[in-house]
Amino acid sequence: MLLRNLFLSTLILGLFFCTDCRAGVEGFTSANPYTQAELDAQKSGFPRKILNYRDAMRQNVIMLNRYAKSKNPNFITLVHEGEDLLTDSLWEYHLEDYNNSRAFGYKAENDTLLNTEEETRKKKLNNLSKEYNQNIDALVLNNLFCQYHGKVSAGKIPLISIDQCSAQDLDSAIEESVRQRSLTYIFSNPQYAFKDAKNQLLINENAKNIENLSEAKNILFLLDSSKYKDKEAYLSDIRNSNFDIVVISPFFQGKPLEKEDINDLKYKKNGALRKVVAAFNISEADPNKYYWQPEWKIGSPAWLKRPSFVDKEGVIVEYWSEEWQNIISKYFKGIMALDFDGVFLTGLNNHKYFEDLTPLE
């Protein structure tokens, strides 16, 4: 038993030897925009076969959630953005016909548009998204109440919102989120966003125990610990809050949190239980993490594709790569070993980068 515990502790320390101080959040952070070469590539050529980048992303989420639920049926899986993954899209139908055309020589005047939308609607659904939807517990979207003007159809999947509001829109956005009974993280000052527990609005304070996601009335995203001088001050701010769900990085300024830290955070200031959730990017590698090899650079290994659009140091990967899947599997096991109640998966919109390099749309 002693050897087993020693091995587990070593594994966890190895998995989390990295930093979170430059944490980026898609939609609120900008880094490494498209290069001219990438923009030119979007207009060039017709590859022999195109991968279904959307379903490859879905399969990684399904893989992680299935493992988590096998160990803890109450484990929560939150996914950030990636609305295109919720349905079997027109893009995917065109992709299927494109690949068939290139492989079997179907005649088409334009390989990039093989069916009209009306013809596509008549085709039988592949239900690629059905299993994905069954493996997520909530969808986290940006600006549902402050800036977003469209409609999101997520079926029965609960929606959580991260909102950046102007000072004049703040009150009305809060009122609307309460009316819709939505978990919402709202801020107007980017200086405190995602990195300050004390200055975060607590909407719908709740004295009850939180046994499952549906019982939660409010949420905190605390993804950047750089504001805090030491770990105890960081943990103390969380402990002395009454948020029902707290989403944090598994590390404090480069050092992994401990299992005892996580379990200590599971109690609100009022003594009731809450859920503690780990943030985890499933499609970007980080040069500061344990798995990064000294000789690695963008393009070597080949699955390291380009700098992140959100994180200055992050690298977008070919997330369907077996080597990357092995990395995130081990990393995910480390998260679960720390006794987190759930995971907040980010990076789901990176499928769009790969799609932008194809001629379908």
Name residues whose C-beta falls within 8 Å of residue 130's C-beta, 6 or more positions apart in sequence: none
pLDDT, residue 165, reads 92
Name residues whose C-beta falls within 8 Å of residue 184's C-beta, 6 or more positions apart in sequence: 144, 145, 160, 161, 162, 163, 173, 174, 177, 203, 218, 219
pLDDT, residue 111, reads 44
pLDDT in tens, 201-237: 899 999 999 999 999 999 999 999 999 999 999 999 9
Radius of gyration of the chain, Cα coordinates, nearest whole angstrom: 21
Q: Alpha-carbon distance 92 to 58, whole Å?
A: 13
pLDDT in tens, 54-102: 999 999 999 999 999 999 999 999 999 999 999 887 778 778 777 777 6
State the alpha helices, DSSP H only, in the chain.
Answer: 2-15, 36-41, 53-71, 90-104, 117-121, 128-134, 170-179, 231-239, 259-264, 322-337, 351-356
Q: Alpha-carbon distance 320 to 57, whole Å?
A: 7
What's the mean per-residue pLDDT of the chain? 85
pLDDT, residue 357, reads 85
Q: Which residue bears the tokens 């990395």? A: 327
Q: Alpha-carbon distance 118 to 105, whole Å?
A: 23
Residue 277 φ then ψ, to 5° = -120, 140
Angle at 146 between CA 144 and CA 149, to 5 degrees: 60
Q: How many other CB atoms are there within 10 angstroms of residue 130's CB atom?
A: 12
Query: Which three-class secondary structure state does DSSP give residue 76?
Result: strand
- Cα 104 off chain centre by: 37
Tokens representing 51 are: 């991968």
Omega before 73 cis (within 30°)? no
For the chain, domains (ranges, CATH) are 2-88+128-356 (3.20.20), 91-124 (no CATH)
pTM of the model: 0.81
Report, as ranges of residue numbers, the positions in the chain whose pLDDT lies below 70: 1-23, 37-48, 102-126, 148-153, 359-361
pLDDT, residue 298, reads 96
